[in-house]
Amino acid sequence: MFYEAELNSRLFLGTAGYPSPEVLIQALEESQTDLITVSLRREGQEGKSFREILKKVNKRILPNTAGCYSVKEAVTTAHMARELFQTNWIKLEVIGHADTLQPDPFALVEAARILCDEGFEVFPYTTEDLILGEKLLEAGCKVLMPWASPIGSGQGLRNIPGLLSMRAYFHDVPLVIDAGIGAPSQAALAMEMGFDAILLNTAVAKAKDPIKMAGAFRDATQAGRAAYQAGLMPRRDMAYTSTPTFGLAEFH
């Protein structure tokens, strides 16, 4: 449940970097995603033609403030997104470091507070920092989107202990792994850890076969969630026999 909206799929996909509009449409359908992210910068470049593509796929749109480096820039972009897409949902990115694309925690919280006060339902791109997460919730966010690793890096879950701590600490808050997922196995692991959804783009868009990769991520996300719900066996330091010791044949 995300801001009182229930989505059938726990895989969210970006829409940038696909080899063609046709491949994008087919990949989105194959993924069975209900939610796609759209950058306002791309909308500005491609305009009406891109909006026609979005109508064909009939998915819920989560506009984002990708590429924003200041509070003013992010807030202004969010206002444009609400007017263009007629939605209060916004994925909030306020970048603080040009190389890693790590969010600026101070600007992120300030922008989140402004947007929440204005009626936006904010999905903040953040890190696994617990204090930052608390500040974003205090600002009015009801979802947190920690990175796995830098955007587009494909490094996967670079800080598993930190992400596990975040999942345990914010046990009642929807948490979406956003950025850095490069393989279906990494998505499955995140879901096994109890995260509520995965948001990715590059791993599908830049795959040799984006359509097939979209299906692989769909299956991995579903499998990981099923495993979490089923309850994973505990890890042990030593071997543990699954065959009972009683009832074995005796040799004389």
Q: Give the closest residue to 28 by CA, choosing from 45, 7, 11.
A: 11
Beta bridge partners of 90: 122
8 is in an annotated binding site: no
- Rg over CA atoms, the chain: 20
Task: Report the C-alpha gap between 12 and 33 in whole angstroms.
Answer: 6
The answer to the question of whether 243 is labelled as a binding residue is no
180 labelled ligand-binding: yes
CB-count exposure of residue 8 (10 Å: 0-12, 13-18, 19+): exposed
Report whether 202 belongs to an annotated binding site.
yes
* Residue recorded with tokens 């033609």: 49
Residue 201, marked binder: yes
Give me the catalytic one of 55, 59, 91, 135: 91
Active-site annotation holds for 56: no
Tokens matching residue 65: 């403030």
Give the active site residues.
91
Binding-site residues sit at 152, 179-180, 201-202
Binding-site residues for 1-deoxy-D-xylulose 5-phosphate sit at 152, 179-180, 201-202
